[in-house]
Amino acid sequence: MLTVQSDTTQVRLTTKLRLALGLATRSFWSPWGAKEGPFWAHVLLTGILNALVAAFIALGVTAFEDTPLGFVYLQVFPYAQGIGYSMMALGTLANLLIGVERVRCWSPLAQGIYWVGLPLLGGIIGFNLVSYLRLGTLVTTWGGARSYSLAASVGLGVMITFVFIQVSAAQGRANRAQAEADRERIRSLAAEARAAQATLRMMQAQIEPHFLFNTLANVASLMDSRPADAHAMLEDLIRYLRTSLRVARLDQTTLALEFDLLRAYLSVFRFRLGSRLRFDLELEEGLSQVQLAPMLLQPIVENALKHGIEPKVEGGTVEIRARRDDDMLGIEIADSGMGFGGDPGNGFGLTNVRERLNLIYGDSARMVIRENPGGGTVVALWLPLVSP
Cα–Cα nearest to 298, from 174, 189, 203: 203
Find all residues with CB under 8 Å of 43, minimum gap 6, and list them: 85, 88
Fold classification of 252-384 (topology level):
Heat Shock Protein 90 (3.30.565)
d(CA 112, CA 104): 11
Residue 333 burial (CB count, 10 A): 22
Please return the burial class of 161, using the count of CB atoms within 10 Å of its CB with bins 0-12, 13-18 and 19+.
buried
Looking at residue 332, its pLDDT comes to 94
d(CA 203, CA 96): 60
d(CA 224, CA 371): 41
Question: For residue 28, which amino acid is it?
Answer: F
Per-residue pLDDT of the chain (388 residues; tens, 9 = 90+): 444 344 455 555 566 666 666 656 665 655 544 566 677 777 888 888 888 888 887 787 777 777 788 887 888 888 888 888 888 888 788 878 887 778 777 887 787 777 777 777 887 888 888 888 877 777 655 444 455 455 555 666 566 665 655 655 565 566 667 767 767 766 665 656 555 555 545 545 544 566 677 777 777 777 777 777 777 778 877 887 777 777 666 778 889 988 988 998 898 888 778 889 999 999 998 899 998 888 788 888 988 888 888 888 888 999 999 999 888 999 999 999 887 664 454 455 677 788 888 878 888 888 999 998 888 899 999 998 877 6
The DSSP 8-state label assigned to residue 36 in this structure reads P
Find residue 323's DSSP bridge partners. Answer: 330
Domain with CATH 3.30.565.10 in the chain: 252-384
Cα–Cα nearest to 240, from 260, 254, 213, 222: 260
Looking at residue 5, its pLDDT comes to 43
Q: pTM of the predicted model, to two decimals?
A: 0.47
d(CA 209, CA 216): 11
The DSSP 8-state label assigned to residue 386 in this structure reads B
Residue 387 gets the label, from left (phi > 0), alpha (psi -120 to 50) or beta, of beta
Question: For residue 128, which amino acid is it?
Answer: N
Cα–Cα nearest to 353, from 366, 341, 336: 366
